[in-house]
Copies of this chain bind each other. A is one copy, B any other.
Amino acid sequence: MESNIAIKRLSALAQPSRLAVFRLLVKAGPEGVAAGEIARLLGITSNTLSAQLNVLTNAGLISSQRDGRSIIYAANYDGMSELLVYLMEDCCQGHPEVCAPLSIAASRAACCDQPQGALS
């Protein structure tokens, strides 16, 4: 992952409305939520939300798909995953003991009951 893409994603998430939108979509799962409903749920005007959705999309954090008159937005889990990897990837250079808590936190925060054998 390139630095400028990481910046783009961090910038996209570093704004209250966009972070709320992203977390809403993360919670909503792969089915996604229509733009209008996002606006209603978060109390944002539609044109402002449109700009925010555009930023998140350009950052590769969400994707969209038309469904009739609505456009459905969904979180891009791969994009989020890449960012997390980027933020953590240099944490152990010569100091594995330092970021052990980080590793544990990541494992615990990530999915509820994943089999630990999943990591090759």
Q: Which residue of B lies closest to A114 (CB)?
A: B103
Q: Report if A80 contacts B (CB, 8 A).
A: yes
Whether the Cβ atoms of A103 and B110 lie closer than 8 Å is yes
Chain B residues whose CB sits within 8 angstroms of the CB of A99 once the complex forms: 77, 110-111
Give the oligomeric copy count.
Answer: 2
Chain B residues whose CB sits within 8 angstroms of the CB of A98 once the complex forms: 29-30, 77
- In whole angstroms, what is the CA distance A95 to B57 when docked? 22
**Smallest Cβ distance from A86 to chain B, in angstroms?**
8
Chain B residues whose CB sits within 8 angstroms of the CB of A111 once the complex forms: 91-92, 96, 99-100, 102-103
Q: Which residue of B lies closest to A96 (CB)?
A: B111
Within 8 A of B (CB), among A5-20: 6-7, 10-11, 13-16, 19-20
